[in-house]
Chains A and B, each alone.
Chain A
């Protein structure tokens, strides 16, 4: 091999190694930061991961929003029209958080089966339905 070829080969090899390391690194990190989306039924069926954050989505049950204590903690039930999960969140709720509205919460379960949210998301459109929830809407949501 000519020196120029050798140099080029070394460069190509270096690039391949670089790309491989990068891809491995990326996939590993991706794997750690994905959040699964579950419905309340799936949560109650025990599908929820215990070691990481996940998302739960559903409609806020009418009349279930309460504020235990005098701080910013709020508690409400989330339903997929089959099962309900109680969610507790300390912080400021988004503008479009309302009873009967579809929302998504990020968080994890505490020991007693209650979902402790770190973040609550409601989308900025009153007709908005999280695509994840659109499926269950069809199955006879009372409207």
Chain B
């Protein structure tokens, strides 16, 4: 009975979504206030119904209802509680339901927390989000019904994919979706503004906090995914340029560009058309990501579903959304004239460059990701290797590192070379000297390490300069009072980049990796640590059996000693082997041991040992960036405006 209620709730939600899309848009066009007023309650009702459907599916997981096909495929009575909850989004149907739930959550948030936005504008935004929701609900109901019955019911479920039985991956998809789908708000604001013809700084101010929040979730989601790949896929890599990773990284890059261009549009009233376009692209790339993951067109560790019907549906939806948006854009964009004149040498110019670089990086990654599909259509099978992506990303992102420092210290509208030079020469010089010093401390001097470190130090020093500039001619108290939270957000975001650069530079250049054959009693030394293999023993845990290896680790001076226990697990239901690496984590280095396979009858195993310096800094950087996002989104300015809503602006809206 419960699954049928869920199914019914989904259909009701679709009807509500259609109402939410059509009625307010028509009302806004014809000036019928009562129709416009439908948007908010519709958004809340839609959340209610999708939440009911989601709750029903969760209930089916919790109560081991194996008469539901999806549950039978992705759960098992021995599955621990937490993975029964996260199992809901463990596969195709459920993760789409989560997508829809997140979208309705964002819609309800827009309905409730935008009191400063004129009613008509808000109604249009909600209507656009309702349209997107229609597409997804229809997709679920038509092609991917999570409530499909299995009759007769299975006696036992075939278990959740063991790779997904992990805390990191349990929270990775919700984070990622909050980010992906969060860009739908900026997208909807952009479309609503294009419909009304009003793209101005008020519009940018409304969009900014939403974009920041979506971006911070996406940042955390990607970082979690990378962390998971590092410890769970078992082989110590943290980024593979896998098509699906790219699919999440491209919206992130566009979202980053969007945040910066929104800043310019709000502050200076420029780049309007470009900002509106970026908002469309950021969301379109999120949809493309969904398409790439869910259609199975790509060979990927993530391509769980491969069903052409579904692929075609999403592709059609994607084309409709992108095509429709771009048509609207082409029609309306000429209205968006920039008000102000700017010189190239200004913060506006620096942000424009930032946007160009980010757009080009995105295009390069898109090319590498889609190229194999295009070639496949012509009959050849190829894949694009990491060297391409590394070269593109490092080559195109490195100038951004330099630009970050300049961007923080350059003035809006107009600046002079002389002033800029006087601000920048000292940080630049110090960065080079300090980085050279640090690079010499490393076990081996490498030019690339020096370059990476100077970039990080440069960002750090320019952040300090930006703070000092704030403090000039002001008491600390008054500076603290007058500095907007957005400023701290910017500093934290950029500091996060610096920390991230240190992480990727040192990890990629100084990792020590050794694949070995080790028999019990063997000792091997990697990067100054002695690893002694003590043999393996068998364990039986909940739904798997494990072969657990034991390693004693010492450093040469004897100061550091620990035991590490990598495992080789066999998950019983699907009979799947899984490598569970042992990781000894530290701020300056990780030690990583993974068991390969048993090589003979005398207890010898294939063993992989890694020494990974500074790898934690990669994710630490992402966390700092996300904190920056929190700061920026919490800027008092957005709330202050929310309170000072004037009836005049509503009247003005209606007139247009």
Contacts and interface: CB of A to CB of B under 8 A. Distances in A.
Nearest to B371: A30
Contacts of A70: 517
B387 A130 contact: no
B516 A34 contact: no
A34 B382 contact: yes
25 contacts: A11-B344, A18-B356, A22-B360, A22-B364, A26-B367, A26-B392, A30-B368, A30-B388, A32-B387, A32-B388, A33-B386, A33-B387, A33-B391, A34-B375, A34-B384, A35-B382, A35-B384, A37-B381, A90-B515, A91-B515, A92-B594, A95-B577, A124-B233, A124-B576, A130-B299
Contact of B391 (A29, A55, A90, A132): A29
B653 to A, nearest CB: 33
Given A26-B367, A33-B388, A96 B515 contact: no
B161 A95 contact: no
B383 A34 contact: yes
Among A15, A30, A37, find the residue whose CB has the most chain B CB atoms closer than 10 A: A30
Contacts of B515: 72, 90-92
A132 B299 contact: yes
A71 interface: yes
A132 B300 CA distance: 12
B578 interface: yes
Contacts of B233: 124
Interface in A15-41: 15, 18-19, 22, 25-26, 29-30, 32-37
Contact of B367 (A30, A32, A67): A30
A93 interface: yes
A90 B344 CA distance: 55
B516 A72 contact: yes
Nearest to B299: A131
Contacts of B234: 95
Nearest to A106: B385
Contacts of B577: 95-96
What is the predominant secondary structure among interface residues of chain B facing chain A?
mixed
Interface in B380-422: 380-388, 391-392, 395-396
Given A70-B517, A72-B516, A95-B578, A124 B301 contact: yes
Contact of B301 (A33, A123, A126): A123
A99 B194 CA distance: 58
Given A29-B391, A37-B383, A92-B597, A126 B364 contact: no
A18 B399 CA distance: 14
A141 B380 CA distance: 22
A93 B299 contact: no
The bracket for how many chain A residues form the interface is 35 or more
A95 B579 contact: yes
A35 B578 contact: no
Interface string A2-23: 0000010001000100110010
Given A30-B371, A126-B575, 6 more contacts: A33-B387, A35-B384, A53-B385, A72-B606, A125-B161, A131-B296
B574 interface: yes
A126 B573 CA distance: 12
B360 A34 contact: no
Nearest to B380: A36
B385 A34 contact: yes
A93 B360 CA distance: 37
Among A19, A36, A55, A131, find the residue whose CB has the most chain B CB atoms closer than 10 A: A131
A131 B392 CA distance: 27
B539 interface: no
B171 interface: no
Contacts of B597: 92-93
Instruction: Please name the 7 residue pairs, one residue from A and one from B, whose CB atoms are nearest each other, closest first.
Output: A37-B381, A92-B596, A33-B388, A33-B387, A33-B385, A95-B577, A34-B382
Contacts of A25: 395
A92 to B, nearest CB: 4
A29 B388 contact: yes
A25 B367 CA distance: 12
Contacts of B339: none
A71 to B, nearest CB: 6
B387 A93 contact: no
